[in-house]
Chains A and B, each alone.
Chain A
Amino acid sequence: MKRLLTIIFLSLSISIYAQNTISGTVTDPSGNPIPGANVYLDGTYDGGSTDDKGNFSFTSEEDGVQTLLISFLSFETYTLQADISKMKTLKITLKEDVNSLGSVILNAGTFSAGDNSKASVLSPLDIVTTAGAAGDYIGALQTLPGTSNVAEDGRLFVRGGDASETNVFIDGQRVFQPFTATTNNIPTRGRFSSFLFKGTNFSTGGYSAEYGDALSSVLLLNTIDEPDQEKTELQFINVGIGGGNTQKWEKNSLSVNAFYVNLEPYQDIIDQRVQWLKPYESIAGETVYRHQFNNGLLKVYGGLNYANFDLIQEDINIPEGINFSLKNRNLYLNTSYKGTLGNDWSITTGASFANDDNDIKVINNNVDNETNSVHLKMKLKKRFSNRFKLNFGAEQFFNAFTEKVNSPDFNTFRSSYDNNSTAVFTEANVFFSKKLAMQIGVRGVRNTLLETTRVSPRASLAYKTSGHSQISFAYGDFYQTPQQDVIKFDQTLEPEKSSHFILNYLYQKNKRTFRAEGYYKTYDELVKFDTEQPEFNSIYNNNGSGYARGVDIFWRDNRSIKNLEYWLSYSFLDTERDFRNYPTKATPNFAAKHNLSLVTKYWVNSLKSQISATYNFASGRPYNDPNQAVFQNRKTRHFNSLDVSWAYLISQQKILYLSVSNILDVNNVFNYQYSNTPDINGNFSRRAIRPNADQFIILGFFWTISENKKDNQLNNL
C-alpha cells in the first residue's frame, strides 16, 4: 500500500510541473512586427508562432536556465539563454540574414553566370546558346560590356587592355594556355569544352586579391561538382566529330570526351582569303574525375590537345606571301580539393601543370619552343560569423621556357628563362548589415626572375539603395610580368602596373537587369622597345604608360515579350597608351570607341526550335597610316555583323543545329598593313586586313543517349 502510494506520488510529480509562461514580441530591425516566427525552447516541444503583431506566448513545464530560440526565413536565428522565469514580455529584434536573398552583393567589375546566384546576369545556358559564339564560351563573353570587338583574334580584350592582360582560372588554378594555338588574323577558341563548367565569373576589373598577374581581367571557370546523370553524347558537325561519356558511382564520377576538327572539307567548298596548304586540324581529349569525401570534394582534370596547320598569308612587302606552319601540343592537368576542416574553417587547395610545345615554321625559319608551367595554391577560409569571413592563402608559380630558332640568316639562336614567383594574399569580407558590405584585401608577389616584390591593395564596397538596386565601388592595384615575347630577351624589366577605380549601379527586378559601370584605369611601367617587333638586340625599358576610361551598360529583359530573351550591351571606351614600339601615346588598334551587342533568343514552341540572333557593332578602329604625319590617327570603317542560329529539337535528345555568322555578308576591315617603302610617288601602298572568310557556317547534329531521356545538348550549342 505504501509502495503504491509512492508510485502514485512519483507519477504525479512527473505530471504536475510548475508552469512557466514565456511571452514577448518579435520585430525586424526597423521595428516592424514579424508574424509567423518560430519561438521555442531548445530541446523541448514547448513553443509557438508569433501572431500578426509579432506577439508570442506559450507555457512550459521546464525550469531553470533554458535556451530560447527564434527562427524565421531570411533572418538569423536568435538565441537567448536565461532563467525561464525571466522570459516574460521579451522585446526581440531579429537580425537580417546577410546570406539570404535580397542582400547587397559585392559585384563591382564582375559578371557572373551561375546556377542560382542572385548576382548572375547570365545563366550557364546563355553562355553557350548565343548565336555567333559557335559553342565557344569566350564568344558569349564577348557580347558583354567592357569587352572590345577584335573578331580576328578571338580572345578577350577588356577595357583598353590587350588580350594578354586577361588570365583564365579553372577551379581556382591558373590555366597557362587557355586558347588554341593560332597565328595572326586566324581567330582562336577556348581549349575547353563548355559543358564541363557550371559557373563562370568574368571580372572586367577590380577583382579579388586571390588573383594576380593580370592587368585587366580574370575569367574564373568552375567545373561541375557532380554530373546529373550517366550519359553518352555525340556531336556531328560539318567541321568535325566528337563524343563524350559520363559515368557515376557511389562517390565517384568520371567524364571523358574527345573532339576532332578538320577544316579541310569545309575550306574546299567555301572560299578563303588565305591559302591553306594544310587546313587546320586538331584533336582534343579531356577527362574529369570527381571524388566526394565526407568533408570535401576532389576534382582531377586532364586535357590533351594537338593541332596543326600550314598556310600562306598575304603580305604587302612579300609578294609571294608568308608561309607559316604550326604544330602545337598542349597538356594541362588540374587537381583541386575543397573541403571543410570543422569549426567553420574550410580549405581550398590545388595544383595545375601545363606543358606546351610548339613547332613553328615562318618562311625559312624554324622555331621550336617548350613551356612547362606549374601553379600550386592553398587557401584557408575562416567564417567567424555570417557577417565576417577571412580568407588567406599562398601560391607558387614555376614557369620554364626554352626556345631554339634556326634561321638561314644567322645560325641557331637559343633563349630560355625560369620565371618563378611566390604570392601571398589575404582578404576579409564584412557585412555591416544586409545593406552594406565590404571586401578588403592585399596581395604580395615576389618574382625571382625579375627580382621584384610588389604589394597590391584591393577593396570593394557595396550599398543597397533600395529593394532592387545597389551601388558599389571597387579599387585595386594590379601587376603583371611582361610577356614571353619580351622577357625571353630582357630579364631586367619591372612588372607592368595598372590601377582600377570602378563605380557600379545595379538594378534587378522581375527578371529585368540594368547595370551601369563607370571606370577609370591607369597604366604604368608598360614595356617599350625600339624595334618593330621585340628582338634579341632590341633595347627595352619600362617607360610606357596609359589610361582607359569609359562606361559599360548592360540591359537584360526576360519578361516583356513571351518566349523572348534578350540582352543589350554597350561600351564606351576612351583609351590611349604609349607601349611597345609606339612613338607617342595613341589609341591602339584593338580599342574601338563604341561597342554594341544585342543578343536575342526566341523559343518557338510549335517548331520546337530556339532561334537566336546576335548583332555586333564596333565603331571604326584606329590604325596608323605612314602617309599621315600623325601616328595612329586614321580609323577603319565600322564593324557590323549579324549572326543567326537555329536549334531544332527533333526529339528530346536529338538536336539539329545551323548557324551562320555575318548573314548580311558585310565586308569588315580590321586594320591595314602598309608597305615598308614608298612607291615612286612617295606613297606607302596598303592592304586591308580582313577576315579569312566573311561568313562561317556550322551545321551540326547532336545526340544525347541516356537512360534518363530528359537531357540534351542544347546548353552546349
Chain B
Amino acid sequence: MKERKGFDIYLLYLIPVFLLITVVVYYPVLKGLVFAFQDYNLFNTTNITFNGFDNFRHIIEDIAFPFGQILCNTFVWVFASLVLQFIFGFILAMLLKKPFPGRGIYTSFVFYTWAVSGFAIGLIWAWIFNGQFGLMNDILMRLHLIDKPIGFLSDPKYAMKSVIMANVWYGIPYFGIMLLAALQSVPEELYEAAKVDGANAFTRLFSVTIPYIRPTIISTTLLRMMWIMNFPEIIYGMTSGGPANSTNILSSYMLNKIYIEFDYGQGAAIGVMIMTLLFTFAVIYIGITSRKED
C-alpha cells in the first residue's frame, strides 16, 4: 500500500520538471531541428522549402571552410580544454583540501573566473593576447623571456593554444569546486590503510583517491564536455574563428552562419551535428564507464 502511494507521489514530483523541459526545451528543439532540412535564410523567408540534406552537404563540402579542419579544431578545443581544466582543477582541489589561513578569501579570488561571462572573457583575453600592445607580450618582454612580440591570436601556431588558455582560465573553478567537495568525502581511514600498506603519495592518489571519486569525475567531465562544445563566445570574441579558419570550431561556425550570414538552415544543420556528436559520445562514455560500476 505504502509502496503504491509512494510511487504516485514520486510521479507527481517529476511532472513539473519534465513538463517544463518538454515545453521550453524539447518542443522548440524539435521545431528548430526542422530548419536543418530547409533553405531557411533570412535574406528571403517568404518561400521556405524543404531541401533534404542540402544544408549538411553544403557544410561538409564547402572548401572555403574545410569541414575536416573545423572538426579537427573542435576536437582539439574540446579535449585540450577539458583535460587541462580537469588537471589544474584537480591540482587546485588537492591544494585546497587542507585548510590554511585565509582559505575562504583565497577560494573566492581563485574561483571568480567561473563568474565572468563568455563575451567578457573574449574581450579581456583578446586584449591580453594582442600581438602588438597586449599585456602578455609586454610582460614576457620585460622578463626577457622573448625578444620579439608573439602573435598569439594572429599566428595559427599559437591561436588555438591562446583561446584554449582563456578557456582553461575560465573553467578551472568548475572542477576545482566539484573535485574539492568530492575529495573531502574520501574517508580518512582509506588513506591510513594505504599508508600502512606502504603506498606513497603518488600510488595513494591512483589507488585510493581517484577510484573513490570516480563517479564525480565521470559526471562532471561529461557535463563539462557538453558545455565546452557549445561555448563559442570566447573564440568568437578573440579570433572570430581566424586567422584563416585556424580556431574555427563547430559552434563558432554555427554562430557565424546565424549572425553574419543569416543562414538559419545551415546554422541548424551544424547544431544537429553538434548534438549528434555529443549524444553519441555521451552514450559511449556512459557505456564504457558504467560497466565497472554495476
Is the A/B pair a real complex? Answer: no
Interface positions of A (Cβ within 8 A of B): none
Interface positions of B (Cβ within 8 A of A): none
